[in-house]
Structure 1
Amino acid sequence: MDKEYISLPKLAELLGVSRQAIQKKLVGKINAGVVKVKTEGNTYFIEIATLPDDLKLRLKNLPEMGKEKAQKLMDNTDKDLHFEKELWSAADKLRGNIDASDYKYIVLGLIFLKYVSDAYYNTKTKLLTKLSDVKGTYYVGNEEARKSVVEDPNRYRGEGVFFIPEKARWEYLRSKAGHPDIAKFIDEAMEEIEKENPKQLSGVLPKNYIRTPLEPHILGELVNIFSKIDFSEDEKK
C-alpha cells in the first residue's frame, strides 16, 4: 500500500480522546484539503501522512509503548504481577545452570516474546470478529480475503501493536520447545520481529540465546512454563 489510512473512530480510540475532539481539531484542515480523506460507505478514512505532525508523532510512538509495557512487567517492583508462580518456576529451572546475574536477561526476552505474541493474537481475533460480522461496517464475505486482511502488518500498526511474523509467534516457538535447536529458534524469532519493526526495535532485542550455557531441554521447559501466562487480560485493562 502506497498510502495508509485510519478511520476517525479508530484514531480517536488510539489517541484516547473523543471523536468530537478529533473532528474539531481536523475539520478545518479537511475542508481546506490539507488533511486528505476517503469514504467507504458511511465511514471516513483519513490519510495518515496528511495528519498534523503532533498526531502523527503520537501514532508513531504507539508500538514503542508495547515494548515499554513488556519491560515494566519485570522492572516495576511496585506492581503485583499475575505470573509470580511462573517466574519462580523459571528461577528453579535456571538455578545451578546459569549465573543468577543472567536470570533477568534470559527471562525478560522470553517474557517480551510472549507479551507481543499475545497482543498480536488478541488483535487478530478482534480483526477477524469485525471482518466476519455480516452486519458490521468492516464485513468481508470472502474467507481468503479475510485471511489476507489479518496478515496485513498495517492493520496491527494501526492498533498500536507489533506485527509478529509466523516463525516469531509464541505458538510456533512452543511447537519447537522440545527441539535441540530451540535457542536458535528463539534468536531467529527476535531477528524476525526486529526486521518487521525496525524503527522501534532494531538492535534492541536480545539475540544470544544460542550462546547461553543452558541445555536445550532447560530452555524448552522455560518456554513451556511461560506458555501458561496469558497477557491478553492485561491488554483488555
Structure 2
Amino acid sequence: MNNTEQQFLKELDDKLWKAADKLRNNLDAANYKHIVLGLIFLKYVSDAFEERQNELKDLFQQDADDNIYLMPRDDYESDQDYQQAINKELEIIEYYQEKNVFWVPKAARWSTLKSTASLPIGSVIWKNEQGEDVKLRSISWLVDNALDDIEKANTKLKGILNRISQHQLENDKLIGLINSFSDTSFRNPEYNGQKLELQSKDILGHVYEYFLGQFALAEGKQGGQYYTPKSIVTLIVEMLEPYNGRVYDPAMGSGGFFVSSEKFIEEHADEKHYNAAEQKKHISVYGQESNPTTWKLAAMNMAIRGIDFNFGKKNADSFLDDQHPDLRADYVMANPPFNVKDWWHAKLEDDIRWKYGTPPQSNANFAWIQHMLHHLNDNGSMALLLANGSMSSNTNNEGEIRKALIDADRIECMVALPGQLFTNTQIPACIWFLTKNKKDGNGKVNRTGKSLFIDARNLGYMKDRVLRDFDKERDIDKITSTFHAWQRGEGYEDQPGFCFSAEIEDMQKHDYVLTPGRYVGAAEQEDDGEPFANKMARLTEQLKIQLEESDHLVAEIKKSMEALGYEC
C-alpha cells in the first residue's frame, strides 16, 4: 500500500477502535469483541451488497440495445413501472452470488438497521410472513435478527455468526456504536479527495486483523490464545512459501496463517509469473480449533475474504477429536498454546501419531510436533511456534523424542526469536521448521543430513514500551533470504552470531540440543586496532579508578547516614 492508503487505514482503525472501546466500561474484552466484530461484519456485508447493487442499477439502465436484463424503457407504461421493474430485478439473489457477494435481506441492511434502531422500543417495525406486526424488542435483538437473516440467506455463513443478545448491552450503547460505524464505509474509499484503490474486502480484512490484535492486548493471556503477531505469521508463511496444495493449522485461532497464505500468493504473483486469482484456487484450507467462539471467528474471517475452508463439523480438541483424520497436507503451520499441561487422556496411549515417542502427559509441546508431522504428506513442510524449552528439555522423554526427530532427519531449520513479541506471554519462543523430504527438487538442493540454525534474538525493534516487532525488509527478509539461499544452494554462507548450517553429527555433539546460540557462536567483533596488552592495561587502570570512586562514595554516604542518627 502507498502512504495515502496506509494513512487512511490508520485513521479508520483509530476511529472504529475509539467507538468500540467505549464499551470497555460495560463489558470485558472477551465479550465485547463479539459485539464489535458482529457489527463490523454487518456494516461490511451491507456496504458490499450496496456496491454490487449500484453496479446492477447501471447495467439495468443501459440503452435498450445493450440492456440484456430488462425490456426497453419505452415498453413500460410509465417511469414508475420501469423503476419498479428495476427494483424487482435488483432483488434477484443470483446477481450477487455470481460475484461472491453475500445476499443481505432488506431487514438486515445497514440502512434498515440504523433507521430502525432510532425508533422507540416497542415500535412496530415490519410485518412477518404471517402478516403480523413485529415490534422492536431491543437493539441487540434487532442486530441478532439481522445476523439470523444473513445466515439463512448464505449457506457459507450458517452457524458461524456470534449473536450478541446474551451480553445484555444497554440499548443506548449499541445505538451509539451503530451511529459511529455509520460514518465509515468499506466501499469506494476516498481520502483527502483522492480515490483509493483499496477493495472493500481488503479494508475489512485490515480492520478485522487490527481489532483482533487490540482485543488480544485488552484480554491479555486469554486473548492471545487466538492471535499470533502478524510479523511472525508473515515470517513463517514467507519461509514456507505455500503456493499451492493443502494448508493445515490444527490450532488455528482466528485463522491468521490462512489469511497470510492468501496475501502471500497475491504479493508474489508478478515475480512468479502467475495469476493470483487463479493460483488461489489451488490452495485448500483445513483447520481445527477447540474454543467454540474462536472457531466461529476463524470461519467468519475466511468467509469475509472469500476463502473456501474446511474447519471440521464443529470446534473440537485436535488430540482427542481430530476433525481431519485422513488429511495429509503439503504445509502445516501453527502457533499452539505453549507448555499445555492438561492435554492428556488415557485413550491417547499408543496413539499412531506418537511415531517418535510418547509425549509427556505434563506438556503438549512434542504432542503438537508429532500431530503435525502425522498430518504432513511425504513431501510436506511444516512450521510451529513453541517455547524455547522445547529445544533443550530432557524432562519426561522430551529429549528422546527430540533425538529421534534429529536422527530421522526431520529438522530443517530452527529460529530463535527475540523476547516481547507476544501480547499474552513473556516466555521466549522459537520456530521449528520440519520436513519429510530434504532431497533435491522444486528448486531446492539436497539437504539430507543438514539443518539450518538461525539466531534472530537480536533482530526487531520496540514498537512501544511493551512489545517488540519485526520490520519486513530489515528483519523478515533477512531471515527468509538466508533460509532460501541455504535451501537453494544460492550464495549461502555461515554468519557467526546469526546462522550456521549443521550436520547431524554437530547436533549429536551438542547432546541433541537445538538451541541456535550453541551453533552460530558469537558475532565477530570489529578490530579497533588497539593491541591486546595495551587494552588490558588501560581497562585495568580504569577499573581501579572506578573502584576507588566507589569506596569514596560509600564513605560519604556512611558519613551522611551517621549525621542523621543512623548506625552504619
Shorter chain as denominator, the TM-score bin is 0.5 to 0.7
Q: Distance in 2 between matches of 1:222 and 1:148?
A: 32
Q: How does 1:68-217 map to 2 (within 5 A)?
A: 80-81=9-10, 83-134=12-63, 136-138=66-68, 140=70, 141=73, 142-179=82-119, 180=121, 181-198=138-155, 200-207=156-163, 209-217=164-172
Consecutive unaligned residues in structure 1, runs of 5 or more: 1-78
Residue matched to 1:42: none
After TM superposition, which residue ranges in structure 1, 4 or more long, deviate above 6 angstroms? none
Does the 8 A contact of 1:119 with 1:232 survive in 2?
yes
Which one of 186, 191, 199 corresponds to residue 231 of structure 1? 186
From the two aligned structures, give the one with the greater helix fraction.
Answer: 1
| 1:87 to partner: Cα distance | 2.0
Q: How does 1:6-85 map to 2 (within 5 A)?
A: 80-81=9-10, 83-85=12-14
1:183 is matched by which residue type in structure 2?
A: S
Q: Distance in 2 between matches of 1:90 and 1:219?
A: 10
The alignment's C-alpha RMSD in Å is 2.1
| TM-score, normalization by structure 2 | 0.26
Percent identity among equivalent residues? 38
Q: Distance in 2 between matches of 1:152 and 1:222?
A: 31
From the two aligned structures, give the one with the greater strand fraction.
Answer: 2
Give CA-to-partner distance per residue, 1:139-198, whole Å, 9 cap, x none. 633332211111000110011101100000000110122344111110000000011112
Distance 1:145 1:91, change over 3 A: closer
Q: Distance in 2 between matches of 1:158 and 1:172?
A: 24
Larger Rg: 2
| TM-score, normalization by structure 1 | 0.61
Q: Distance in 2 between matches of 1:80 and 1:143?
A: 37
2:157 is matched by which residue type in structure 1?
A: L
Distance 1:168 1:161, change over 3 A: same
| 1:225 to partner: Cα distance | 0.7
1:126 is matched by which residue type in structure 2?
A: E
Q: Distance in 2 between matches of 1:168 and 1:203?
A: 17
1:235 is matched by which residue type in structure 2?
A: S
| 1:125 to partner: Cα distance | 0.7
Q: Distance in 2 between matches of 1:115 and 1:82?
A: 17
Does the 8 A contact of 2:61 with 2:67 survive in 1?
no
Does the 8 A contact of 1:98 with 1:213 survive in 2?
no
